[in-house]
Amino acid sequence: MPRIARSVENVPYSRIRELAEIAMRMEGVLRLYFGESNLPTPDFIKRAAIDALTNGYTFYTENAGLPSLRRAIARQYGELHNVELDPATEIVITASGVQALNVGIRAVLDPGDEALVLTPAWPNGASIVAMANAVVRQIPHPLRGDCYGINFDALEAAVTPHTRLLLYTSPSNPLGWVATDEEQQRLLDFSRRHGLWLLADEVYDRLYYAGGSLGVPVPSILRKATRDDAVMVVQSFSKTYCMTGWRVGWLVARRDLAHKAAQLNEFIVSHAASFAQKAAEAALAHGEAELTGMLERLKQNRDLCLNALSAMPGVTVPKPDGAFYLFPRIEGLTDSFGFCRRLLEDSKVGLAPGVAFGAGGEGSVRICYAAECEILEPAMERLARFLCHT
Ligand SMILES: Cc1ncc(COP(=O)(O)O)c(C=O)c1O
């Protein structure tokens, strides 16, 4: 009988989804397992999409996306990072951050190649590597005191003649960890020394609480890299502008790779939806005030959950500077999926199990704090009660 390709069979099922599917069959669950805000997309973005539809943005666009959106992205890199990008050759619009990851990874890995992935991490990067018939080497972030770091010795030891790519996420999902200036430089130096592609997933760069004032982004790796470096940045409108369902993102890359990525778009989705690209342009032009408001609320939520978790015996929770997740470690926990399932069935609180995020994730759970405090407060109370009784 014809069988399914091994590279596809080998792609692991998302354990976040597995938990979510149990939760979705239940009523009254406090849902903190997915990575999205429950704020709707701002009205001005929705109106821009309606205007775009009315004005004829219903046809195919360039594979690399609308030139006007690429120019707007380049302008924003200039303003926020003082980085100059050529919108015609160094930016490719994609149908989401995950699609940017897909074309970026696909463009640099051949079957049998190896990719180093800093974990715990959102599982999609590693699964895309597997879909390319390549091999993932997971390098866990060590927890030193109450700060995550990078184990550069482990990275050095993991390099083989087949290694082609190093993937990291800052701010991190699920850790909220943000690479320091020195860590960014060392990742870049390491990649240059070993002739690797460095792929920085920066989709949470605007969700940053340690930047002087809210709205200041995490400095992009593009500030340190030159345009000739083998560096890619994955980006998205999903998290910054509450646009998860719209599916618009982008990839910044060295010219030759950006050119190929645009070409790959043709064979995957051709391009992001035309009117959604126009809406994304509006988000860039007018999104700052809404973003700052959302960040104030997220920071309060983070502190509310941090305070609650810090008071729970046996729970260690590093204070994250970015994204909208907390990743508490629970003393003695060896089966985070079983724990999350019992918590769900017993207390109707839905969290993501740490095991879903690869090496270094087991023993923790991920809490997405982008919900209202009317949901977060009872969720924290129920978690505390559940921990006392287990
Ligand atoms: C680290 C990371 N990268 C990329 C994405 C992709 O976001 P999207 O495909 O919605 O743009 C996500 C979404 O959860 C994420 O957590």
pLDDT digits (tens, 9 = 90+) for 165-201: 999 999 999 999 999 999 999 999 999 999 999 999 9
Token code pair at residue 34: 């997915």
pLDDT band at 100 (very low <50, low <70, confident <90, very high): very high
Identify the pLDDT of residue 10: 82
**Is the pLDDT at 11 greater than 90, yes or no?**
no
pLDDT band at 12 (very low <50, low <70, confident <90, very high): confident
CA distance 257 to 305: 41
**Is the pLDDT at 117 greater than 90, yes or no?**
yes
Query: With a 6 A CB cut-off, is 173 part of the ligand 1 pocket?
Result: yes
| Cα end-to-end distance, the chain, whole Å | 48
Identify the pLDDT of residue 36: 87
Cα angle: 269, vertex 275, 278; to 5 degrees: 110
Query: With a 6 A CB cut-off, is 123 part of the ligand 1 pocket?
Result: no
Q: Would the pTM count as exceeding 0.95? A: yes
Above pLDDT 90, what percent of the chain? 94
**Cα 100 to middle of ligand 1, angstroms:** 10
Token code pair at residue 132: 């390319």
Identify the pLDDT of residue 170: 98
Q: How many CB atoms lie within 10 A of CB 389?
A: 7
**What's the mean pLDDT in 224-244?**
97
Within 13 Å and on the Cβ side, how many CA atoms surround 182? 3
Identify the pLDDT of residue 22: 96
Q: Is the dihedral of CA 289, 176, 124, 14 positive or negative?
A: negative
Query: With a 6 A CB cut-off, is 169 part of the ligand 1 pocket?
Result: yes
Beta bridge partners of 115: 136, 165
CA distance 70 to 51: 19
**What's the mean pLDDT in 288-293?**
96
**Is the pLDDT at 389 greater than 90, yes or no?**
no
pLDDT band at 37 (very low <50, low <70, confident <90, very high): confident
Which one, of 120, 45, 31, 34, lies nearest residue 285 by Cα? 45
Query: With a 6 A CB cut-off, is 120 part of the ligand 1 pocket?
Result: no
**Is the pLDDT at 56 greater than 90, yes or no?**
yes
**What's the mean pLDDT in 341-370?**
97
Query: With a 6 A CB cut-off, is 249 part of the ligand 1 pocket?
Result: yes
Residue of 239, 248, 357, 366 to test ligand 1 pocket, by largest number of atoms within 8 Å of CB = 239
Task: Calculate the average pLDDT of the chain.
Answer: 96
Residue of 122, 325, 366 to test ligand 1 pocket, by largest number of atoms within 8 Å of CB = 122
Instruction: Point out the ligand 1 atom lying closest to the alpha carbon of residue 201.
Output: 3
Identify the pLDDT of residue 295: 97
CA distance 129 to 36: 24
Q: Which residue has the higher pLDDT, 388 or 68?
A: 68
Identify the pLDDT of residue 390: 78
Asked if 348 and 30 touch (Cβ cutoff 8 Å), the reply is yes
Identify the pLDDT of residue 38: 86
pLDDT band at 157 (very low <50, low <70, confident <90, very high): very high
Query: With a 6 A CB cut-off, is 236 part of the ligand 1 pocket?
Result: yes
Token code pair at residue 355: 């095991």
**What's the mean pLDDT in 264-286?**
97
| Backbone torsions φ then ψ of 372, nearest 5 degrees | -70, 155
Query: With a 6 A CB cut-off, is 325 part of the ligand 1 pocket?
Result: no
Residue of 14, 98, 168, 175 to test ligand 1 pocket, by largest number of atoms within 8 Å of CB = 98
Which one, of 76, 81, 303, lies nearest residue 176 by Cα? 303
Beta bridge partners of 118: 139
Token code pair at residue 105: 């990874």
Which one, of 248, 226, 229, 228, lies nearest residue 237 by Cα? 248
- Ramachandran region of residue 91, left (φ > 0), alpha (ψ -120 to 50) or beta? beta
